[in-house]
A = this chain, B = another copy of it.
Amino acid sequence: MMLAMKYTMADIAKETGVAKSTVSRYFNGGYVKDETRKRIKEVVDRVGYEPSEAARNLKSKRTKLIGVVAPTLKSTVTGRQMTEIDNFLKKKGYSTLILNTDHDPSREIEAIEHLSSLRADGIILIATNISEAHQRLQKISRIPILALGQQFRGGTSVIYDDYEAGFEVGEYAKEMGHEDILYIGVSEYDEAVGIKRKKGVLDGLGLPKGATKVNMLETAFSYEDARKVIRSSLKKHVPTLIICATDQMALAALKEATDMGLSVPDDVSIIGFGGYEMSELVNPSITSVRFENEKAGEVAAATLLSMIEEEPVASLQVIGHSLREGGSVKRI
């Protein structure tokens, strides 16, 4: 007997002395006599044979493959979302193909094209921005695409209510008596976080239009960048409250403030968005909006499967959040 080699159904059939179709029936259910079944099983076990999904897919047209296009594999939020997506899909017999784009929009398009040539059954796009390129792709591609975290106009999306979350934070800040505020956001390229969340905060603060007393800053999604931006700003002026568009930034702010000898929240308060585990673990723990990322992942996966089954789905689903008070905000 030769060493482990690629066996095909025909090999198994020949070995067992039956026809290919009988072996196929053995694997897929159908009339096979107990005795024949036993004989096939014996051969299959002995050589360690498994039918090729690829060949099977060729006929059935379904790959049972779902692509997840993610901007990073290193963030708490994507991690939560991907874990639930994967869990849910696995339960339904699908495999998850995760493509990382490292925040590069062009790699996003590439990823979708790639998934399309792989004949993935569906795609979940954890995007930071939905461009016309996405819109076009979605129209051409016969494979269902669902956007998670950003609204996909003309498509299907599962999003968070960033405006509302921002609004609540703004209201909360006002209620706690803060008036000298520094807001640290991200590029407006990211519609959900960069635009809606920010607008929510400003509206929640109830500022008279035009006359903003809020200092606005912008930074990238990395700690390093955030720290640099925050440090130079704090050197010029220390507000009573820093609102950060993500917990990542909030943690950076906490670090910089403490390093400068400022006490949080006595000298300066901090609020973040994201509800990272880490935000609870620092001192003081950071007041932050926790989005239900796990539920979002599951809803996204479930919805995509419905789309694949060509069942009707809502084009927009909004997932909840809640403000979690830590010890990083002082009432003034």
Contact = CB atoms under 8 A, between A and B. Distances in A.
Interface string A97-122: 11110100000000001101111000
Nearest to A86: B100
A83 interface: yes
A295 to B, nearest CB: 16
Contacts of A252: 281
Contacts of A82: 73, 100
A80 B254 CA distance: 24
A228 interface: no
A250 to B, nearest CB: 10
Contact of A58 (B5, B51, B54): B54
A235 interface: no
A10 interface: no
Given A4-B142, A283-B258, A95 B95 contact: no
Contact of A83 (B57, B74, B95, B254): B74
A48 B141 contact: yes
A95 B223 CA distance: 29
Interface string A79-101: 11011001100000001111110
B100 A54 contact: no
- Closest CB pairs A-B (n = 10): A74-B79, A48-B140, A98-B98, A50-B117, A255-B281, A4-B142, A86-B100, A258-B283, A73-B79, A53-B118
Interface of A: 4-6, 48, 50-55, 57-58, 61, 63, 72-76, 79-80, 82-83, 86-87, 95-100, 102, 113-114, 116-119, 139-142, 223, 251-252, 254-255, 258-259, 277-278, 281-283
